[in-house]
Amino acid sequence: MTSALGQGFVLLGLIAAGFGTAFGYIAGVRRSAAGLRLTRRLALLFAVAMVGACAVMWYALLSHDFSVSYVAQVGSLATPLHITIFSLWSSLEGSILFWGLILGLYIAAAAIFQRRGHEDYLAYTLATLLGIGAFFTFLIASVADPFAPTPPPVPVDGPGPNPLLQNHLLMAVHPPMLYLGYVGMSVPFAMAVAALLRGQLGATWLRPMRRWLLVPTSFLTAGIMLGGWWSYEVLGWGGYWAWDPVENASFLPWLTGIAALHSGVVQQRRGTLKAWTVILIMITFLLTILGTFLTRSGVVNSVHSFTQSPIGPVFLGFLALCAAAVVVLLALRIDTLVSEPSNERLVSREGAFLLNNLLFVSLMFTVLVGTIYPIVAESLRGVKVSVGEPYFNRMAVPLFAGLLMLMGVGPALPWGGSDPKLVRRALLRPLPAAAVGLALALLFGGRSAPVLIVSAFAGFALWVTADQGLRPVRARRRREGGKGPLASLLVAPDRLGAYVVHFGVVVTFVAIAVSSTFQREAEATLRAGETLRLGGYEMTFRGAELVQEPHLDRHQAEVEVSSNGRSRGVLYPSLNIYPNQREPIGTPAVRTTAGHDLYLTLMNVGGDGSIGLRAIRTPLVAWIWIGVVIMVAGTALCLIPTAAERRAAAADTVPDLAPSPAGGGR
Amino acid sequence: MRRATGIPAAAVVLLGAPAFWPASGATPGILAALPPTAAALAQSQDAGPGVDQPPAEGEYRPGLGVEASRELGDPQGEPLSGEELDRAVSLVAADIRCPKCQALSIADSGASSAQAMRAEARSLLASGYTRDQVVRYFEQRYGEFVLLEPRARGLNLIVWTAPAATVLAGGLLVARRLRRRRSADEGLDAYLRQVKRDDGDDGDNGETAT
Amino acid sequence: MNRKVLLIGLGICLPVLLVLGFGFRHDPQIVESPLIGQPAPSFRLADLDGNIVDLEELRGTPVVINFWATYCVPCWVEHPLLMEGARRWQGDIHFLGVIFQDDPNLIAQFNAENGTWGPSLIDEGGRVAIAYGVYGPPETFFIDRDGTIVDKAIGAVTPEQLLDVANRLLASPAEATG
């Protein structure tokens, strides 16, 4: 019964998406208002169907209806309520259903928020989005059907979700954030497709497109950060980023998404780089599909891989189809997007943006090649190889350092950059800040080149960011003297937001550089009463106990932490043992301070009551997460309409946002 | 810990299923909460009471196990000890992939086999094998797969040259674009006027946008 | 039609798609051992009762070395087959079990309940497992009379596999030793 209801909703979604795609394209070609209305209704129907399907699945999970195969696969009577709710995305079929839900919500949002002023683009946009929706509902209805009835006999209990996913509440938010990022990239993609099909990309369409790009990029940022945080809090190896293939897969669209956001700035200001921005958005979308494929096909060795399943080839087919469509569409239509003649100097704001794009795309390509090279080696040489952390660090660190430098230099440079005197002044003024950064690094014992370079660049970038971000305040005071500082900042919240994001990036960069350079660790086998020392800390093992909880047994060690003769509290690193799982899963205990983290993992518990304890002291870890939170906050600021837009909205017209006469391509 | 020692029904169900073993990430594989065993006791005795240092890895019962010299030939370096040894061990460990884990090095992983490999590296380095010899030892046993950084030879050169090649190719494109500027010098005057105006209102592009 | 865009696009997308397609032909979990065709690393290990087994001394007779543990389900699966094999080729092929990261007490208990097909050797510190490049239990190495590793099974050994390799091992005549 439940199975049939769920499958019914999925089928409804598939039908709505299929017809919506067809009607949308027809309405686009014929510029038919009635066709657009119908397409919008089908888009909303698709969203309703997805919401319905997910609601049915949640109902089945919560009522432990093991006659639904997905529930039999991930459900368990012993699993706590909140984990049962999250188990919707804890395994392959459910995660694709959840994916469908998010896509449905995005499509509905696009259909609702973009309905005014963009009729000629909207039909194509919705058609493209519904095409993607048709693929996913097809997947759910065929090879990845979570609603399939369990073959009899229906079990009375299930194994419960993967214990790694049960271990920490971050698992509740990390996948949804990533999905919101991944799926959301479909929207700017569909809008770019619409622009190509229309054969024009004016400022009126560019602005919402950048916004729809900004939203998923920021979800992706948050999702990647939460994944790192989860890895840090749960996996117990003391790090947050292992360059695992699936981590890389989420990183790829993030890199090109950010590149597109930056090239969009140039397009908005100068009317150049139009085709390039569109290409970047399309690459970003293809990379999200590639990433999903890598995660779900099992072709790469990864923490995150779901087991091998027939879904892999189907996904590869979809990826191939999308890639072919994108290439052909670009080849046919790219010349219709006429950019203003380019006229850039290397040492100018435009030049910095070009280099920024060069570095982001190179970084993406490096990570992509490193991630799929093992498959190449296996196919051509028949040998399994690994491309791992040492390689990626060696390659990515210089590129990131370059980006950090550009983040300082770029915003300091004037647009056009034609006046050498102006350029020289702009580049000289932040130098003292760079010197301060360098001096601080030296003071705290930084001796390695990467740390010193990052510190100097970070100082430079911080100064420029603050200077540029607060410029409206000074300009306002000089000119009118009227408005308060906050009000003048909010005249252009997108501009302010951009610099807030840059500020967050500097914080995160510095924290990553410092934390990876100055990490120290110690390891020992301890019996009760014995002490492990590390970096000023004394960790005394008091004893271990076995805690029994409904769905797990936990070995918990009591470790008293003190430094400088003062007690710093008690930490409880533990090892969780789940029924039906062989390997116990460690949960580290972390003491976080503003300066550093003390990170304890229980390696093992001996029969004689001794424990293997590993302690890691890492400086500034918390600032990595704080930096990302700042970035996300900055993005939120960017989404606030500018003063011009608010006025335009009040007048119910479409604002012309291009300041230069070159701006519109209409 | 619920460890079945008999062959339960589950095994029958799995009979004929493809081989699998839960390849979990950095899970410390251990002998948790078991009665003391000969091996465990021997290990804890090795470690000695009240240690502040990691247990002396690499001390094995003499006469048993494998003889490294038969597999590796003679040591080509100086025996290391103390901090120098610690540093050498972590350098080697950072480059060797933990065979059971995903993408983690044996330095980062807490899995029992990773711990064993670290101990082996320590023992070899302590008896004078060079870093290169130790890495080669692991590579000979486990295959190229355990090297987290592929050796720069043959097909692997793809990975090593791709980043530079991308930057170069992209750089050329950017350079060509910038060079085009000179040919467009006629339009420069108008452009400069435009630039001047933009510089003036750089502070509030939102305002000027109406 | 912009040919340049078409060519560049295809030039990048096609290789990537081809590579990914090839990925399906391989199981990412299985890594070929570089030791096949190489001399088997020699070792001396004690079994649960303290008897020493020296691989060197077994030269002249084919040897099957199985790395296993009680927590590994495929090990349970292949246990009856190994029992059968050890009985069938008694005296012709030596069957040795090496404990992979497990507690000897559990092994003893398992053996008491399910029977044994050969000595269960205690690999202290996992050094022998490292010398053989064992990724995880069970892995089975087949060594001919000359002490060369001729094959390796990853996961539970199947009857066909065991029969095939055993026939090969028994067919190959000893060269120097005998």
Looking at the 3D structure of chain A, how many domains does it have? 3
Q: What is the pLDDT of residue A77?
A: 86
Q: Would residue B165 count as lying in a domain?
A: yes
Q: Which residue has better confidence, A341 or A165?
A: A341
Same domain, yes or no: A154 and A212? no
CATH number at residue A594: 2.60.98
pLDDT at A396 over 90: yes
Nearest-by-Cβ selection for B198 from A533, A608, A660: A660
Q: Is residue A117 part of a domain?
A: yes
State yes or no: pLDDT of A654 exceeds 60.
no
End-to-end CA distance of chain B: 70
Residues B142 and B160 both lie in one domain = no
Q: Give a yes or no: residue A340 inside a domain.
A: yes
Contact C73 B11 (CB under 8 A): yes
Contact A10, A142 (CB under 8 A): no
Inspect the interface and report whether the beta carbons of B1 and A414 lie closer than 8 Å: no
Q: What is the pLDDT of residue A268?
A: 86
Q: Are residues B144 and B164 in the same domain?
A: no
pLDDT band at A233 (very low <50, low <70, confident <90, very high): confident
Contacts of C10 in chain A (CB under 8 A): 327
Q: Between C80 and B3, whose confidence is greater?
A: C80
Q: Where residue B64 sits, what CATH number does that domain have?
A: 1.10.8.640
Q: Is residue B190 part of a domain?
A: yes
CB atoms C104 and B38 under 8 Å? yes
End-to-end Cα spacing for chain A: 54
Q: Would you state the torsion angle of the CA atoms of residues C70, C73, C74, C79, taken in this order, to the nearest 10 degrees?
A: 50
d(CA A636, CA A358): 26
Based on the domain organization, do A222 and A125 belong to the same domain? no
Q: Are A251 and A145 found together in one domain?
A: no
Predicted pLDDT of residue A593: 92
pLDDT digits (tens, 9 = 90+) for B113-129: 888 899 999 999 998 99
B18: confidence class by pLDDT, cuts 50, 70, 90: very low
Q: What is the 3-state secondary structure (H, E, C) of A266-300?
A: HHHHHCCCHHHHHHHHHHHHHHHHHHHHHHHHCCC
Give the integer Cα–Cα distance in Å for A103 and A158: 29
The average confidence (pLDDT) of chain A is 87
Q: How many domains does chain B have?
A: 2
Q: Is residue B27 part of a domain?
A: no
Q: Does one domain contain both A218 and A145?
A: no
B115 vs A contacts (CB less than 8 Å): 603
pLDDT of residue A658: 40
Indicate if A133 and A210 belong to the same structural domain. Answer: no
Write out residues 142-181 of B within 8 Å (CB-CB) of A: 143-150, 154-156, 158-159, 162-163, 166-167, 170-171, 174, 177-178, 180-181
Domain of A147 in residue numbering reads as 1-166
Please say if the pLDDT value at position A651 is more than 80: no
Q: Is residue A188 part of a domain?
A: no
Residues of C in Cβ contact (< 8 Å) with A299: 20, 23-24, 26, 28
What local confidence, expressed as pLDDT, does residue A301 receive? 58
Q: Which of B14, B23, B70 sits opposite C73 (nearest CB)?
A: B14
- Per-residue pLDDT tens over the stretch C106-141: 899 999 999 999 999 999 888 999 999 998 889 999
Is B106 domain-assigned?
Answer: yes
Of C9, C24, C71, the CB nearest to A327: C9
Look at residues A427, A459, A474 and tell me which one is the last residue of a structural domain.
Answer: A427
What is the reported pLDDT for A308?
Answer: 55
Query: Does residue B144 share a domain with residue B62?
Result: yes
Domains of chain C with CATH codes: 33-171 (3.40.30.10)
* Shared domain check, A209 and A155: no
Taking contacts as CB-CB distances below 8 angstroms, the residues of chain C near A379 are 19, 22-23, 25-26
pTM assigned to the model: 0.87
Is A225 a domain residue? yes
Query: pLDDT above 70 covers what percent of chain A?
Result: 93
In a domain, B37, yes or no: no
Q: Which of B149, B168, B189 is the last residue of a domain?
A: B149
Q: B102 and B187, same structural domain?
A: no
- What is the pLDDT averaged over residues A661-665? 35
Residues B139 and B168 in one domain: no
Q: What pLDDT is stored for residue A666 in this prediction?
A: 31
pLDDT band at C175 (very low <50, low <70, confident <90, very high): low
Collapsed DSSP state (helix, strand, coil) of residue A91: coil
Within this chain, do residues A210 and A358 fall inside the same structural domain, yes or no? yes
B142 and B172 together in one domain? no
Query: pLDDT value at position A228?
Result: 92
Name A652's Cβ contacts closer than 8 Å, sequence gap at least 6: none
- Give residue B123's domain range: 54-149
Element at A566 (helix H, strand E): strand A566-571
Looking at the structure, tell me whether residues A228 and A322 fall in a common domain: yes
Size of interface A-B (CB pairs under 8 A): 285
Is the domain of A139 the same as that of A10? yes
Residue A511 included in any domain = no
Go through chain A and tell me how many residues it has.
666
**Which pLDDT score, from 0 to 100, does residue B196 have?**
53
Q: Would residue A13 count as lying in a domain? A: yes
- B140 shares a domain with B164: no
Contact C44 B5 (CB under 8 A): no
**Residues from chain C contacting residue A331 (CB–CB below 8 Å):** 1-3, 5-6, 9
Claim to verify: residue A293 and residue A355 sit in the same structural domain: yes
Domain end, chosen from A379, A402, A427, is at: A427
Output the pLDDT for position A656: 46
Residue A476 within a domain: no
**Are A60 and A102 in the same domain?**
yes
Task: Output the six-digit token pair for A331.
Answer: 């080849």
Read off the pLDDT band of B2 (50, 70, 90): very low
* Contact (CB<8Å) B22/A269: no
What's the pLDDT at B17? 30
Asked whether residue A179 is domain-assigned, the answer is no
Same domain, B59 and B138: yes
pLDDT at position B62, please? 58
DSSP C72-87: -HHHHHHHHHHHHHHH
